[in-house]
């Protein structure tokens, strides 16, 4: 196994933490701890939300890794509207207490990236996949197609994606972040063997989502 290189606290969180920290310190100094307490509580919530812990990358050549922390809410055969093919879909719902850093699920080259503005329904609803704001990354993994879709949620209002078309990506690499409660949909070839079920808790990079035949390590 190799270790995912992580920033411990996601870079996306530093502006919030610095701002809240300054406010909390000023309130504590001039008005006392009781007045500042609500701000300190929010500071701690934001701190835990933007944590980005280390993860071991499994040496599993044919495995598709979880791109996000959360709970499995969908495992079904459906149509992948981004790669235009029938696919096995596995969806992960992230609540506000999950790590929201998104990682790459397979080794491969990015074929396309599409951003879609949309609504902000609760991300654990099925309609969120096609109606909410979202960003789809299609990866060519040794001739097989894997689609990762970041979906905004009821509270999430910002999807961040740092990947680019043509990039060669590796399992466990950090490629994006979704701010405050959301979902990631994974579309796989129909012949993939799912290793998770609805209701399971998964962890980005650490959890094996499915087995995909003839996938390079």
Residue 32 has pLDDT above 50, yes or no: yes
Band of residue 4 on the pLDDT scale cut at 50, 70, 90 = very low
Band of residue 128 on the pLDDT scale cut at 50, 70, 90 = confident
pTM here? 0.85
pLDDT tens per residue across span 40-67 = 999 998 888 888 888 888 988 889 999 9
pLDDT of residue 146: 97
pLDDT tens per residue across span 190-216 = 999 999 999 999 999 999 999 987 655
Question: Is 112 an active-site residue?
Answer: no
Cα 87 to chain centroid, rounded: 20
Residue 125 has pLDDT above 80, yes or no: no
Band of residue 130 on the pLDDT scale cut at 50, 70, 90 = confident
Band of residue 91 on the pLDDT scale cut at 50, 70, 90 = very high
> Hey, what domains does the chain have and what are their CATH numbers?
8-52 (no CATH), 61-211 (2.70.70.10)
In the block, residue with structure tokens 């606290």 = 9
Please tell me which residue in 91, 101, 129, 182 is annotated as part of the active site: 182
φ and ψ of 186, to 5 deg: -120, 120
The three-state (H, E, C) secondary structure of 13-60, written as one string: HHHHHHHHHHHHHHHHHHHCHHHHHHHHHHHHHHHHHCEECCCEECCC
pLDDT of residue 215: 53
What are the C-alpha distances in Å from 36 to residues 20, 25, 32, 91, 145?
Answer: 10, 8, 6, 39, 51
Between CA 118 and CA 130 the distance in angstroms is: 9
Q: What does the pLDDT average to over 80-95?
A: 95
Structure tokens at 183: 């979902």
SS3 11: helix
Highest mean pLDDT among 70-79, 96-105, 118-127, 145-154: 70-79
């Amino acid at each position: 196994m190799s270790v995912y290189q992580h920033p411990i606290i996601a870079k996306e969180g530093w502006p919030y933490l610095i701002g809240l920290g300054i406010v909390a310190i000023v309130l504590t100094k001039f008005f006392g701890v009781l007045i500042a307490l609500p701000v300190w509580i929010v500071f701690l919530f934001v701190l835990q939300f933007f944590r980005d812990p280390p993860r071991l990358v499994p040496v599993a050549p044919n495995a598709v890794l979880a791109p996000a922390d959360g709970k499995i809410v969908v495992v079904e055969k459906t149509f992948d509207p981004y790669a235009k093919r029938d696919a096995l879909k596995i969806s992960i719902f992230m609540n506000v207490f999950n790590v929201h850093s998104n990682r790459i699920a397979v080794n491969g080259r990015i074929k396309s990236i599409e951003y879609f503005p949309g609504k902000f329904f609760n991300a654990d609803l099925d309609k969120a996949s096609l109606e909410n704001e979202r960003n789809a990354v299609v990866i060519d993994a040794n001739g097989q197609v894997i689609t990762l879709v970041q979906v905004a949620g009821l509270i999430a209002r910002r999807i961040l994606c740092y990947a680019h078309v043509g990039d060669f990506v590796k399992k466990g690499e950090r490629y994006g972040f979704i701010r405050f409660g959301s979902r990631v949909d994974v579309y796989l070839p129909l012949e993939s063997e799912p290793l998770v079920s609805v209701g399971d808790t998964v962890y980005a990079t650490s959890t094996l989502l499915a087995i995909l035949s003839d996938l390079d390590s």
